[in-house]
């Protein structure tokens, strides 16, 4: 059997198994793209189905790039990391506890620097976990004491700056449930910035919910800075309250990276 006869036989057999009329996908794509003449004059070494897959993949990638170029796409990408969750606006309704008269004897707030009356060792013993401490701090900061929140198994370490509250380090095991004490919301206009802390991502923001008679209002205040991240199954937050120039974003990152 000569070469021409063999070719005709193979073509006839292929036509019987898969009629060419049923495999017209790539020519239609070529025609829609206006590239029929180019593809017919320059044979491709890739099978038609492989070319279709590549074409579809390229379309998907172009679509993703176009989406991320829009404000909505950039907003979606920024919301992927949820250490800080944006509220729908910069104002919140009056909280239920604002409507309740304060008790005659208020419960002690473990997040208050004035209640930092424990040592780190005592906190570790009561929580049953190791508590990381910074190996580096700005000279203006000095350790005051520690406290804990048993409800969230959270440790709090306090460092004073002059007469202000200074720096608070909060750390707790990563919660499996949706409840997360270190995942609080910020205002819709808050400028949340993704930062690198060693080999992990974190988030940095400046501002605070200011309590008013009409409910909390978000204020972008450089006197209050927060840095949040997760590493080795733990969630961390550094909260600084004081003069903006005395503790920069770079300083907070340096403190975070020195924990051990």
Q: Which of 52-56, 77-81, 226-230 has the lowest mean pLDDT?
A: 77-81
Residue bearing the bigger pLDDT, 53 or 233: 233
**Mean pLDDT highest for which of 32-46, 94-108, 236-250?**
236-250
Q: Which of 10-24, 77-91, 190-204 has the lowest mean pLDDT?
A: 10-24
pLDDT for 23 beyond 50: no
Joined tokens for residue 151: 């409800």
To 10 degrees, the CA torsion angle through 241, 242, 247, 248?
80
DSSP annotation of 220: -
What are the phi and psi torsion angles at 251 (to 5°)? -65, -45
Residue with token string 């910074």: 134
Q: Which of 51-55, 134-138, 183-187, 254-258 has the lowest mean pLDDT?
A: 51-55
State pTM to two decimals. 0.62
Q: What is the per-residue pLDDT for 33? A: 43
pLDDT grade, residue 96 (50/70/90)?
Answer: low
What are the phi and psi torsion angles at 3 (to 5°)? -65, -40
Question: Where do the structural domains in the chain lie, given as residue ranges?
Answer: 3-74, 80-257
| CA distances in angstroms from 180 to 40, 174, 236, listed in the order given | 60, 8, 11
Q: What is the per-residue pLDDT for 66? A: 47
Q: What is the per-residue pLDDT for 240? A: 94
| CA distances in angstroms from 91 to 5, 84, 88, 184, 195, listed in the order given | 82, 16, 8, 15, 26
Joined tokens for residue 140: 């203006």
- What gap in Å lies between CA 254 and CA 132, rounded to an integer? 14
Joined tokens for residue 144: 């005051």
pLDDT, one tens digit per residue, over 126-172 is 999 999 999 999 998 999 999 999 888 999 999 998 776 799 999 99
């Amino acid at each position: 059997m000569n070469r021409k006869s063999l070719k005709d036989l193979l073509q006839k057999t292929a036509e019987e198994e898969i009629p060419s009329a049923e495999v017209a996908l790539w020519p239609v794509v070529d025609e829609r793209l206006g590239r029929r003449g180019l593809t017919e004059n320059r044979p491709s070494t890739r099978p038609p189905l492989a070319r279709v897959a590549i074409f579809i993949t390229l379309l998907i990638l172009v679509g993703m790039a176009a989406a991320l170029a829009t404000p909505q796409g950039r907003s979606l990408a920024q919301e992927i990391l949820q250490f800080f969750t944006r509220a729908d606006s910069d104002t919140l309704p009056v909280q239920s506890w604002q409507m309740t008269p304060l008790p005659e004897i208020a419960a002690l707030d473990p997040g208050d620097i004035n209640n930092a009356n424990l040592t780190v060792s005592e906190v570790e013993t009561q929580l049953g976990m190791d508590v990381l401490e910074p190996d580096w701090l700005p000279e203006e900061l000095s350790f005051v004491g520690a406290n804990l929140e048993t409800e969230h198994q959270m440790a709090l370490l306090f460092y004073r700056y002059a007469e202000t509250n200074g720096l608070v380090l909060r750390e707790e095991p990563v919660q499996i449930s949706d409840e997360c004490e270190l995942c609080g919301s910020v205002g819709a206009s808050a400028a949340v910035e993704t930062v690198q802390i060693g080999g992990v991502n974190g988030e940095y923001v400046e501002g605070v919910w200011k309590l008013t008679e009409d409910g909390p209002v978000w204020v972008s205040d450089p006197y209050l800075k927060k840095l949040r991240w997760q590493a080795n199954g733990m969630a961390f937050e550094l909260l600084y309250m004081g003069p903006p120039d005395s503790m920069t974003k770079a300083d907070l990152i340096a403190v975070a990276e020195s924990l051990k």
